[in-house]
Structure 1
Amino acid sequence: MSTWRELILEHMKEVGESPVDVVGCTLTEAELDIDFSRGYGGSEGKAFTLWTERRVYFPAVYDGAEWVGSAPRNPCDEATEHQGGQ
């Protein structure tokens, strides 16, 4: 079982951000902590978008396995990897 908060924090660490960088999120504090199975099968995590000054975070899924993806918020030289087929 995982929560979006856990997965978002893990991904934020990978891209050099932290919760203090968040400027908006479509999930409530309670929704961030709802447990769901992120394994294969059906998507269980609630849809969301989370913004920081530098990035936009969103749910990614392949065959029911869920994780957090992100892309730069503003134009830059960073190419965005394919989402949903990792």
Structure 2
Amino acid sequence: MYFKNQVNFGHILSILAIVIIPLLIWGFSVEAMRKDVERNTNDITEIKSEAKEIKLQNTKNHNEVMDKLHEIELQLKDKKDRE
């Protein structure tokens, strides 16, 4: 005979499984997302530092090119003045 106040362990286990399994899945997915965000943050930081280095190199190259162009202009001007 089954009374309302008797505990059916099968029901308790099924309720626990219904609660615990989704929580475990959610926990693992959140952990995976956290690792992805951390990896992406590191990648973004690395890309920013590389972009700064490239910008500095480009500025240096631009300045060198402008200096050489100025030298060539001066040489051409001197050549015209001599003629």
Q: Tell me the TM-score normalised to structure 2 length.
A: 0.19
Query: Which has a greater percent of strand?
Result: 1
Query: Which has a greater percent of helix?
Result: 2
